[in-house]
Amino acid sequence: MKTVFITGTSTGLGRAAALHFANRGWQVAATMRSPEKETELQQNPNIRVIPLDVTDPVQAQRAAAAAIEAFGKIDVVVNNAGHGIYGALELVSEESIDHQYAVNVRGVINVIRAFLPHFRANSGGMFINISSYMGFLSAVPLGSLYNMSKFALEGLTEGLYYELKPYNIHLRLVQPGGFASDFTNKINLPTSGTIRDYDVVNARLNKVFDAVKNKSYSLTQPQEIVEQIYAVATGTNQEFRTPVGQDTAAMIAMRNSLPLAEYLEKIDAMYA
Residues carrying an active site annotation: 131, 146, 150
Indicate left, alpha or beta for 103 from its phi (over 0: left) and psi (-120 to 50: alpha).
alpha
169/160 Cα distance (integer angstroms): 9
Bridge partners of residue 242, in order along the sequence: 174
Hey, which bits of the chain come out as E strands?
3-6, 27-32, 47-51, 76-79, 125-130, 169-176, 241-244
Nearest C-alpha neighbor of 77 from the set 152, 165, 2, 177: 2
3-state SS, residue 73:
coil
CB 17 within 8 A of CB 78: yes
How many other CB atoms are there within 10 angstroms of residue 39's CB atom? 8
CB 4 within 8 A of CB 77: yes
Question: CA triplet 90, 267, 205: central angle to 5 degrees?
Answer: 50
87/187 Cα distance (integer angstroms): 9
